[in-house]
Amino acid sequence: MTASRWSLRHHRLQAILAVASIGTAVALPVVLLSVGGGVSQHELAQLENSGYQLSISAGGLHGISGAHALVAQIDALPHVASASAVLSVAVDLFLPTGGVTPALAEGVMPGAFLATQGPTTAGLFPHPLPLGDPSDLAHYANGTYAGPPALDVLVASPFAQDFGFGVGATLGLGATTNRSAATPFTVTGTFGVPAQTLGPAAVFAIVLPLSDLQQLTGYARAGAGSGALLDQADTIEVALAGSAATSVAAISQVQQEVQGLAPFYGVSALTDQASELRASIGVLNGFYLALSSVSLTIGLLFLALVLLRRVEAERRTIGIRRALGLPGRQIALGLARDGLVLAAAGGAAGTVGGIAVVTGLARFGSGSVATAAGLALFDPLTLGLLLAGVLLLSLGASAVAARSALRGSIPEALR
Amino acid sequence: MSPVPEIAVRAVSKSYSAGRPEEVRALRGVSVVLPPGDVVSVEGPSGCGKTTLLNLLGLLDVPSQGQVLWDGRNVAVRSERERARLRLTGVGFIFQRFYLLPTMTARENVELPMRALGRPAGERRARADRLLADVGLSPRAEAFPHELSGGEEQRVAVARALANAPGLLLADEPTGELDRANTDQILDLLLRVQAESGSTLLLVTHNPRVAARARRHLRMEDGRIVGDGPEA
């Protein structure tokens, strides 16, 4: 039986506490890195699978005006497969059962919308969108909004289920809670929500033609006299055709051309957004690592205290070993071995514990916490590096204990 | 067996001050030479510096002043690592309170110094078993110290001290916690081992019966050697 094994067994409480503290210290980074990494990767994947390559948006709080006209101009550019203006506004929804509820509505150009979505989002909707005029230009009528509105609306399946109505029902939509001012829309279809309910598609309760939503909410009106027309959208998404969609040069060229059409708006390439997101993820990971370092430092300080306590308790036996002439290196190695065993046990316990916490949150948690936990990625390389870091730092804790063990005179230790 | 060196201290003083309001001078300019194969007792009242002298001779401590000479070389100025190596290969310690490692069996305690020297496991075990047989403890080889009597513990300590066949055996009150029968048994053992190996044996004691077994007697008082001769 080696002294180390005996030592761990006969200082069981200290060993358990050290393992628990290191386990707790390791569990935090496991949770942070796995959930944070998973959510980041999910966001990045969503962005990279968006289905569009360029996005036009206005700075500040105001949106893009003249959206229909701008979309027509962009559509005419080479390499452009489709451009789609989108407006998101909260409206009041008057239910067939008589209730009223606020709901987030998304106004889209029915024919272009799905062409600018990635396969995951597009797959949630019926093809083609049953929202009347695919171009959304009939109602828009060159900015007069004198054409016939579609008055069709798609409803998120869970929303329809919750409120007990389906396709064919009539919903009143209004910008205020005044039912008499509401406009009747016909439910012409439903759309699903993604399994991972993080992202925009999850929160939209209804989707309707852009011009209908603009007019309903005051984002479409002719200016008084010679005033400018308000034809507002939040963003315009542009999908490129064929190989241009993956060509950096083509994307950059179309980006410049669109910027020329809309000099006052920001035109960003998705590749740039992805780069920015990656940079943000890097910053976030750095934050996670900093937080993890604090946690690990506390755990390893506790390990150092346990090892120092052991040195104090075994000062005489260490003194005997030194008196017999055992090299200090052997004594230090014994402590390092103890530290490594405790750190490895704590690291393993923390990793298993962290994974269990995340799995439990995904299974039994609620809302976005459960969703985020469900996205967690347990990267073996990251976990391995974390464990290696813990073992390395435990050597530092052992070195502190070894220094204490080998300091002082042997006769003092033997007293 | 390690070559038996001539051990000497020259004008050695040792003071302690840590944690005390006044400096305590444990040794005051002590000089003595121990030729190879000598059997020496160090006698004197408690606190006269006997153990301090033993600690310096065995390189457990370093003097505040003076030299500790092994075959004429001042080993007190060497690094702790070098002194540890000398202790391991050249010195066998036997303490009053035995100082066996409680976590190890009798055999493992005896094997410990050999293990530190990197001796092969088979060789270690064979020598440990032989040494335990020499001290009459073969049947107790697997016993832990708390399972042994005081006399048995000290016999294990003697076996451990002999593990690396040192040239210098230092025994600090080796029979201080033993009854008369065990005292005689341990002394017989030590003297037999010394005679067989030719090593130098230094016994620190205040027991006249123990001292009487030595061939040379150092008498200490107040940190000084006040007597050195064949008469107890």
Q: What is the structure's pLDDT at A242?
A: 86
- For residues A221 and B35, the model is more confident at B35
DSSP letters spanning A299-325: HHHHHHHHHHHHHHHTHHHHHHHHHHT
Contact assessment for residue A202 and residue A193, using Cβ atoms and an 8 Å cutoff:
yes
Q: In what order do the strands lie in the sheet with B73-74?
A: B24-34, B7-16, B65-70, B73-74
Buried/exposed B117-148: b ≥16 CB within 10 Å, e otherwise? eebeeeebbebbbebbebbebeebbebbbeeb
Tell me the three state secondary structure of residue B176: coil
Using DSSP's 3-state secondary structure scheme, residue B11 falls into strand
Torsion of CA B108, B112, B115, B120, to 10 degrees: -40
- The answer to whether the CB atoms of B113 and A6 lie below 8 A apart is no
| Residues on chain A touching B86 (C-beta within 8 angstroms) | 325
CA gap B216, B232 in Å, rounded:
8
Kindly determine whether residue A3 and residue B86, on different chains, have CB atoms separated by under 8 Å.
no
Query: What burial class does residue A57 get, using C-beta atoms within 10 Å of its C-beta: 0-12 exposed, 13-18 middle, 19+ buried?
Result: middle
How many angstroms separate the Cα of B50 from the Cα of each of A211, A239, A415, B226?
Answer: 106, 95, 15, 12
Question: Going by C-beta distance under 8 Å and a sequence separation of 6 or more, which residues neighbour residue A411?
Answer: B51, B52, B55, B60, B61
Binning pLDDT at 50, 70 and 90, where does residue B22 land? confident
AA identity, residue A33: L
User: What's the whole-number mean pLDDT along residues B156-174?
Assistant: 92
- Yes or no, beta carbons of A317 and B101 under 8 Å apart: yes
Chain B nearest C-alpha distance from A10 (Å): 10
Distance from CA of A414 to the nearest CA of B (A): 8
Could you give the CA distance from residue A238 to residue A82 in angstroms, rounded to a whole number? 6
Which uninterrupted H or E stretch holds B15?
strand B7-16
Pairing status of strand A170-174 against strand A235-240:
unpaired
Interface of A with B in 299-338 (CB under 8 A): 316-317, 320-328, 330
CB contact at 8 A, B66 and B53 = no
Omega within 30 of 0 (cis) for the link into A128: yes
How many Cα atoms are found within 13 Å in the side-chain-facing hemisphere of A359?
7
The reply to whether residue A325 touches residue B55, judged by beta carbons under 8 angstroms, is no
Contact by Cβ (8 Å): B78, A316: no
Nearest to B61 among A10, A328, A409 (CB): A409
CA distance B188 to chain A (A): 23
CA distance linking residue A323 with residue B95, whole number of Å: 11
pLDDT in tens, B79-126: 999 999 999 999 999 998 899 999 899 999 999 999 999 999 999 999
Please provide the DSSP assignment of A10-27 as one string: HTHHHHHHHHHHHHHHHH
Task: Please tell me which of the candidates B55, B102, B113 has its beta carbon nearest to residue A324.
Answer: B113
| Pick from A325, A328, A410: CB nearest B113 | A325
Residue B162 has a CB neighbour count (10 Å cut-off) of 26
Contact A303, A342 (CB under 8 A): yes
Q: Is A193 left (phi over 0), alpha (psi -120 to 50) or beta?
A: beta
Interface contact A1, partner B, CB < 8 A = yes
- State the smallest CA–CA distance between residue A31 and chain B in angstroms: 40
DSSP state of A233: B
Query: If you measure CA to CA, which chain B residue comes closest to A415?
Result: B97
Residues A140 and A214: beta-carbon distance below 8 Å:
no
The answer to whether A255 touches A272, Cβ cutoff 8 Å, is no
Q: Which residues in chain A have Cβ-Cβ distances shorter than 8 Å to B88?
A: 324-327
Cα–Cα dist A296/A25, whole Å: 5
pLDDT tens, chain A, 415 aa long? 344 444 556 678 888 888 999 999 999 999 998 998 888 888 888 777 778 889 999 876 678 888 999 999 999 999 999 999 999 998 999 988 888 888 899 999 999 999 898 888 888 999 999 999 999 999 888 888 888 999 999 999 988 888 888 899 999 999 888 888 899 999 999 998 876 554 444 456 899 999 999 988 888 865 554 445 588 899 999 999 888 888 889 999 999 999 999 888 999 888 887 888 889 888 888 888 888 888 888 888 888 998 898 898 889 999 999 999 988 888 899 889 989 999 999 999 999 999 999 999 999 988 788 888 988 999 899 899 989 999 999 999 999 999 999 888 898 888 8
Check if the beta carbon of residue B153 is closer than 8 Å to that of residue B145: yes
The answer to whether A107 and A210 are in contact (CB under 8 A) is yes
Q: Which of A10, A316, A327 sits opposite B81 (nearest CB)?
A: A327
Task: Decide if A297 touches B, using CB distance below 8 A.
Answer: no
Residues 106-165 of chain B with CB under 8 A from chain A are: 108, 112-113, 116, 160
State the complex-level ipTM: 0.92
Q: Which residues of B touch A330 (CB under 8 A)?
A: 116
Q: How many Å apart are CA B62 and CA B55, to the nearest integer?
A: 8
Q: Is B79 on the interface with A (CB under 8 A)?
A: no
List the single residue in B52, B80, B99 with the smallest CB-CB distance to A414: B99
Amino acid making up residue B78: R
Give me the domains of chain B, ranges plus CATH numbers. Answer: 36-62+79-229 (3.40.50.300)
Is residue A172 helix, strand or coil?
strand
Nearest-angstrom CA–CA distance, B26 and A135 = 105
Distances (CA, A) of A132 to A126, A174, A189, A212, B119: 13, 20, 12, 11, 92
pLDDT at A203: 57
How far CA B103 is from CA of A4, A317, B107, B126, in Å, comes to 9, 9, 12, 21
Q: How far is the C-alpha of A159 from the C-alpha of A169, rounded, in Å? A: 13
**Residues of B whose CB is below 8 A from A410:** 55, 60-61
How far is it, in rounded angstroms, from Cα B49 to Cα A160?
Answer: 96
pLDDT (average), residues B51-73: 94
| Torsions phi, psi for A97 (to 5 deg) | -80, -5
Which residue in B20, B100, B103 has the most chain A C-beta atoms within 10 A of its own C-beta, making it the best mutation to test that interface? B103
Q: What is the mean pLDDT of chain B?
A: 91
Structure tokens belonging to residue B1: 């067996």
The pLDDT of residue B30 is 95
Interface touch A411/B95, C-beta < 8 Å? no
Query: Distance from B231 to chain A by nearest Cα, in Å?
Result: 30
| Structure tokens that stand for A126 in this block | 């019926």
CA distance A2 to chain B (A): 8
CB A254 within 8 A of CB A244: yes
CB B9 within 8 A of CB B73: no
Domain boundaries, chain A: 3-45+276-414, 59-264
**Residue from B94, B98, B99 to probe the interface with A (highest A Cβ count within 10 Å):** B99
> Number of A:B CB contacts under 8 A?
65
* Six token digits for residue A310: 């052991």
pLDDT at A248: 86
Tokens standing for residue A109: 């150009």
